[in-house]
Each structure stands twice: as C-alpha cells, then as structure tokens.
Amino acid sequence: GNSVTQMEGPVTLSEEAFLTINCTYTATGYPSLFWYVQYPGEGLQLLLKATKADDKGSNKGFEATYRKETTSFHLEKGSVQVSDSAVYFCALSDTTNAGKSTFGDGTTLTVKP
Amino acid sequence: DTGVSQDPRHKITKRGQNVTFRCDPISEHNRLYWYRQTLGQGPEFLTYFQNEAQLEKSRLLSDRFSAERPKGSFSTLEIQRTEQGDSAMYLCASSSRLAGGHNEQFFGPGTRLTVL
C-alpha cells in the first residue's frame, strides 16, 4: 500500500534560517505529491503540489521537487519567518487508489525571532 | 466563499452520546472524503463517496460510525455511543475530475470532537 514518511520533529529555527523537511514515499501507482500546512486549531491548507516526476511545486517561498528516482519530495525554504510556524504534512494521492490521500505524521516547525 | 464547509467546528459530548457532523463540499464536486486526525498524527482516510454512492470504507470505520450523502451534495458523519477514543479532528474533503482531477482534494476546516 501507499505510505509517506516524514522527517521527525519538532524543528526549531531562527528567523531567516534555511528550512528543509524531508519526505519520502511509497506508492503502487503514479501519485501526485502535496505539502499541506496546518496552523493551530485550523484545517489543512494546500501549500504546494507536484503531479509528475521532476515537477517543482512552489508557493510563498516554499519549494519541493518530485524526485521519482529517490521517491522523495523534500520541502525547502530559503529564509523562514515567524509566521511560518505551523505543522507541515507531506501527502500523496493516487487515482489508482480512488484519489484517497495518504499523509505523513507531520513536522512541527517553530521559528523564533 | 465557495470552499468546503463543515459544521459544527467544535463539539464536546459525553461518552455514550451520539453526534452528527455535516460537510458541504465545493459545489459540483462529485467526490467527498472523510478523514480523521488524532493529536500528533496525520489525517487517516475513513470513507469516500462518488455522488451519493459510498464506495469505500476504511477498517477504521467501526460499526458505530455511519456516513451518508443522500443527494450527492452534502454529507453527514454520525458516531453512535461515542467513546473517548473517538476524540479527534474530523476532516472532510471534496474533489472533481474537472477541477484538478481526483488527485487534488480540497479540505474543509474540520470538526474537532472531544468526548468526555
């Protein structure tokens, strides 16, 4: 079956530091890959996505590249802000699996001023 | 706003009581999914509908849980005889082949259930 493994947290960074959150996946089909962000007490917000190998998703300074050879989709940002503090989830969905999403366990990011 | 909406946002109940949650998907999205998210975990799939047909249920969905989507629009998730282990965030999502494909789901804000 499908699975997603995320870098364990929590991660604490100073403002303007470089961020990497690792994500690897296992899938039987050809999944689309996603990063979601969740702020305290709120639902999931789609941060970025990539639908095929070598695609790069980007949004709000965050980037992730779909690497089929390493089955990875690592999230990066060059300079984090306090407002980026949240929980980040890596996920995949696969039309051969009815489009259901499979999520990692989340990585909590805290950015200190 | 035409996003996915869920009601209520928060529900506190006593063990043994029944609760019902509602999800309104994005208009004309024919697929609707329910997920459960416990503290410190990622969301886990519970069930999904294509139009009014419930096509799959996870083994996480015990006999105390039932979901409906009677007219292929909004959906309800009912939990009977709630237990403390049911305390979680219940998330709804919808998708359409014509709007990003079924690989992209749009999530609602969730209903947080606390069972005392």
Interface of B with A in 59-98 (CB under 8 A): 89, 91, 93, 95
The mean pLDDT of chain B is 91
Is pLDDT above 80 for B101? no
Q: Give the number of beta-carbon pairs within 8 Å between A and B.
A: 71
DSSP for B31-62, written as a single string: EEEEEEE-TTS--EEEEEEETTEEEEE-TTS-
Q: Given its phi and psi angles, is residue A98 left (phi above 0), alpha (psi -120 to 50 degrees) or beta?
A: left
Q: Does A49 touch chain B (CB under 8 A)?
A: yes
Among A24-33, B5-14, B68-77, the minimum mean pLDDT is found in A24-33
Question: Are B43 and A44 inside 8 Å of each other by CB?
Answer: yes
Question: Are B109 and A99 inside 8 Å of each other by CB?
Answer: no
A43: nearest CB among B33, B44, B91: B91
Among B58-62, B77-81, B95-99, the minimum mean pLDDT is found in B95-99
User: Strand B31-37 relative to strand B88-95: parallel, antiparallel, unpaired?
Assistant: antiparallel
In chain A, which stretches have pLDDT less than 70? 96-97
Is pLDDT above 70 for B9? yes
Q: Count of CB atoms within 10 A of residue A21's CB?
A: 23
